[in-house]
Amino acid sequence: MKNDQRAIPRILAAVLACALAPAGAAAAETSGSARDAAANSRPATADALRAQALLKKAVAHYATLKDRAFADFIQGPQFIDGELYVYVVSSVTGVMLASGGPSFALINKNVTDLEDATGKAFFQEMFSKAKSSSSGSVEYLWLNRVDNKEETKVAYFQKVDDRIIAVGYYKR
């Protein structure tokens, strides 16, 4: 009986992962590199599921309000979940348009050439993936302000019109 009870959360997580995956995620998974495919085949963590749910909520909100949603992404508590937050970048200009987290300091700045601690131009990767698929993910090294250490972060994104809406989480 105990083993059956332990399986229930895993089954629920799998069902939630399918239900909360951004639209077009299956196409993005099949078009990525072998590393991306391997990463996408692993069971989703609770943080990944939270990030996907917040992204889905933000995309729906943006679909209704368009750029007026930026104020809610910046200040609205409904778009912050612990250390998770929504940010929006223009796929045309590379300018950060909104952020509810520490990247708030980058609003109105071009982030196209921003690199992580290893020199990876992760926004360029995001823009490139967004051209071929409307959704996907990028992985990069970023400062986790909670423990003041650089850690691997995964950002899920969805392109809507010429905006890229994203939510990232730290892999643990």
pLDDT tens for 121-142 read 999 999 999 999 999 999 999 9
pLDDT of residue 1: 42
pLDDT of residue 19 exceeding 50, the answer is no
H-assigned helices in 66-151? 70-75, 122-132
Neighbours of 56 (CB within 10 A): 19
Q: What does the pLDDT average to over 80-92?
A: 96
E runs forming strands in 7-146: 80-81, 84-90, 96-99, 135-144
Domain 2-170, CATH: 3.30.450.20
Percent of the chain at pLDDT > 70 equals 75
* More confident site: 19 or 54: 54
Q: What does the pLDDT average to over 80-95?
A: 96
State the pTM of this model. Answer: 0.76
Q: What does the domain layout of the chain look like in residue ranges?
A: 2-170
Cβ distance 59 to 160 under 8 Å? yes
Helices and strands: H and E segment counts in the chain: 6, 6
Mean pLDDT score of the chain: 82
Indicate the DSSP class of residue 133. Answer: -
